[in-house]
Structure 1
Amino acid sequence: MFIVGVITFILATLHISINCVRMMRGYVDHSSLVGGPVGYLGILPQWDNVFKNTIYTAQSIVGDSVAVYRCWVLWNRSFFVVSIPLLMVLGSAVSAVMAFVVSVKAPPGTTMSESSLDVWIKIFYVLAVAQNIITTTLMGWRIAAADNQVATYRLGRGNLIPVLRILVESAALYLTAQIILLVLYLCDKNAQFIALEAITPIIQGITFNAMTIRITLRSQSQSSAHTVEIATDAHRPTIGSMPLRHISVTVTQTKHTDYDTESQSAREIK
C-alpha cells in the first residue's frame, strides 16, 4: 500500500502540474492566436493534452486495481470472485491504450465527439463505473457478513462495521464523481472537464490515502485503549496470560423445616 500511495501521489502531482502548464500556454502564449485559449486546449494530438489524459487513465486504472486487490484479499484470495472486476480493469486498460492511439493520430481540428475516440472514452467510463459498483458491493457484503457471524460471540461493539463505513464512504465519493463525469460526458456538457480534473485528486487524496489513514488511526486508537484496559486489569488474578473478569453470581437457598405436629401441640397445652 505504501508503494501504491507513492505512485498515486506522483501521478496526481504530474497531473496538476501539466494542467498548470496547459493553462499558462493557453491563456498566455496562445491568447492572441487564432482560436485563442479554447482552440489550443481543444487540440487532441497536442503532446500536453495526450500526456494529461495518459496520467488520468493511469491514475484511474491504479485506483481500480487497488479496489480489486482489496476485494481479492477480503474474499480469501479467490480469483473466481474478482474475475469480472479484473476483466473490467483489463478492458479499461485496453480502451485507454486505444484512446491514446486515436488521439495521437487525430488530425488537427478534430474534436472528441467527431472521432472514434468518443467510443473508447465511453467504454472507459462505463467500465470504471461498473467495476467500482461491483467491487464496493463485494467488499461491503463480505465485511457485513463477517461481522454478523461473530456478533453472537463477541463482547461489546464490533470493529468491522466502522471499517465498512470508512470503505463505503470513500468508495461512494469516488463512484459519485465517476457517475457525474459519465453523465456530463454523455450529455456533452462543458462541466465534464471540471469533473474530469477532480477525479485524479479524489483517487489519490481521498479514496486511497484518506481511507488508509482513517483505518490506521482507528487501529492505533483501539490498540491504545486495549493497552489501558490491560494495565487497569493487571491486579486481577490470571490463569496463564488470560486476565480474569469479575462476574456476578446469584445463589438461591431454600430451607425446609420439619417438626412433629403432635409433640408441638402437647408442649403448648402443658
Structure 2
Amino acid sequence: MTLIGMPRDAAVTMSLTLECILYGISIFMFLGTICALTHNRHMHDIDRPSLVVAVLLLILSTAHVVVNIFRAEDGLVKHRDIFPGGPTAFFADVSQSTYLIKSALYVMQTLLADGIIYRCYVVWQSARVIILPCILWCSVAVTGVHAVYSCSQSSRSIFAAELARWIEVFLVSTIATNLLSSGLLAYRIWLVERSASTMRTQETSLMPILRVLVDSAVLYTAVLFPALICFLFSNTGEVVVVDMAMPIMSIAFYMVLVRIAINRNRRFTTFPKSTTSETQQGDSQQYPMSPLQFHASKITHSNGHLVYGSGKGQSSTDFE
C-alpha cells in the first residue's frame, strides 16, 4: 500500500512534541477545573462525578504521553539499527506493545470524554433522549476494542483494509456521539434560556454556557475530522492528529467547567443596572440574586450551581 504524507519517524517526533505542548496546557486547565469545582464549597457540594472524570482524564493523558516517550525512544534510539527496516518500519508495526498500550489508552479516554451523554440525561431528565447517543457510544466501545485487538493480532500497517475499516467506524461513531450529545444539550439550554428570558428580573443568562458547550464540541470535532480524513486517504499525518486528540479531549472537558465557574463568579460580583433615572433617584434597592424559576422547566441558581428540574415538587439536578 502506497502511503502519503511525512515519514513515520518524522510524524512520531512531531506528534510527541505537539502532544507534550498540549498536555502542558491541559495541566493548567486541570488545575483551574479543580479550583472551579472545590473553591468556596463544602465537601457535600462538590460535583464528584465531574471531579472523578477530570482526574481520570489527567491520568490517561499522562500515561499516553509517557508511553509515547518510551515508544519514540525505542524506535529512534534502542531499535534504530537492529529493527528490520529501521525506525520507519518500527513505527509502522501496530503489534508493538507500546502502540497497543497507547491505542487502548486512547479508546478509554474517548469513552470517558463521550460521557457528555450523562450531562445530556441530567439536563433533559429523560432516558428517551439519550437512546441514540448511548447506541453510538456502544458503537465507539465495540469498534475501539476490536481495533486494538486486531492490532495485537497483526504486524501490518494500520491502513490495512480490514483494520482501517474498524478505525474509520470508530472515528465516525465518536464524531456522531459528540455532535449529537452536544447538540441535544445545547438545544435544551437554549429552550430554558428562551423560556426564562420573558420573566427574568436580573442580568443572568445561560448563553455563556451555551457558547462554551458549542466551542467544546467544535474543538473536539475539529481534531477528529482530520484524523478520519487521514485514515480515508492513508496519510501518515494520522499519527500527529490522533496523538494531539488525547490532551485536546481533556482540554475540551476542562474548558466547560472553568468557563462556567468564571461566568458564575461574574454573576455574583456584578449588580444589576438600573434602567431609568427615576429608579436611581427614588429607590436604591438592588434586586437580590434570587432563584429564577418557571413551571414547566426551571433553572435555579443555588450555591453557584446551575440546577435543573421539571415541574413543581420534583427533584432538581446540578449541571456543571
Match of 1:195 in 2: 241
Question: 1:147·1:158 contact (CA, 8 Å) conserved in 2?
Answer: no
1:171-194 CA distance string (max 9 Å, x none): 111011111111121111111111
Match status 1:161 vs 2:161: no
Give the alignment's TM-score, normalised by structure 1.
Answer: 0.80
Match of 2:120 in 1: 71
Question: 1:129·1:178 contact (CA, 8 Å) conserved in 2?
Answer: yes
Report the residue type matching 1:95 in the other structure. Answer: T
1:180-209 CA distance string (max 9 Å, x none): 1111211111111111011110011x2111
Match status 1:92 vs 2:137: no
Question: 1:8·1:62 contact (CA, 8 Å) conserved in 2?
Answer: yes
Match of 1:130 in 2: 176
In 2: Cα distance, 1:236 partner to 1:114 partner: 73
Match of 1:256 in 2: none
Match status 1:212 vs 2:257: yes
User: 1:1-270 alignment to 2 at 5 Å?
Assistant: 1-33=50-82, 34-65=84-115, 67-75=116-124, 77-106=125-154, 108=155, 110-114=156-160, 116-204=162-250, 206-225=251-270
Q: CA deviation at 1:80?
A: 0.4
1:94 is paired with a residue whose SS is helix
Give the alignment's TM-score, normalised by structure 2.
Answer: 0.68
Q: CA deviation at 1:119?
A: 1.8
Question: 2:159·2:231 contact (CA, 8 Å) conserved in 1?
Answer: no
Question: 1:5·1:209 contact (CA, 8 Å) conserved in 2?
Answer: yes
1:42-71 CA distance string (max 9 Å, x none): 111111110000001110110012x11111
1:74-100 CA distance string (max 9 Å, x none): 11x211001101111111111111112
- The gaps in structure 1 that reach 5 residues or longer are 230-234, 243-270
Q: CA deviation at 1:113?
A: 2.5
Q: Which has the higher contact order (CA 8 A, sep 6+)?
A: 2
In 1: Cα distance, 2:93 partner to 2:109 partner: 22
Question: 1:151·1:158 contact (CA, 8 Å) conserved in 2?
Answer: no
In 2: Cα distance, 1:192 partner to 1:125 partner: 12
Report the residue type matching 1:78 in the other structure. Answer: S
Identical pairs, percent: 27
- The gaps in structure 2 that reach 5 residues or longer are 1-49, 275-282, 291-320
Q: CA deviation at 1:115?
A: 5.2
Q: CA deviation at 1:166?
A: 0.9
Match of 2:32 in 1: none
1:81 is paired with a residue whose SS is helix
| Bigger radius of gyration | 1
Q: CA deviation at 1:226?
A: 5.4
1:198-226 CA distance string (max 9 Å, x none): 1110011x211121111112212212335
Cα 1:99–1:237 change in 2 (3 A) is closer
Question: 2:164·2:231 contact (CA, 8 Å) conserved in 1?
Answer: no
1:93-139 CA distance string (max 9 Å, x none): 11111112211111x3x112325222211110110111111112111
In 1: Cα distance, 2:149 partner to 2:98 partner: 15
Q: CA RMSD in A?
A: 2.4
Report the residue type matching 1:103 in the other structure. Answer: C
Report the residue type matching 2:91 in the other structure. Answer: L
| Higher relative helix content | 1
In 2: Cα distance, 1:194 partner to 1:100 partner: 18
| Deviation larger for 135-144 or 4-13 | 135-144
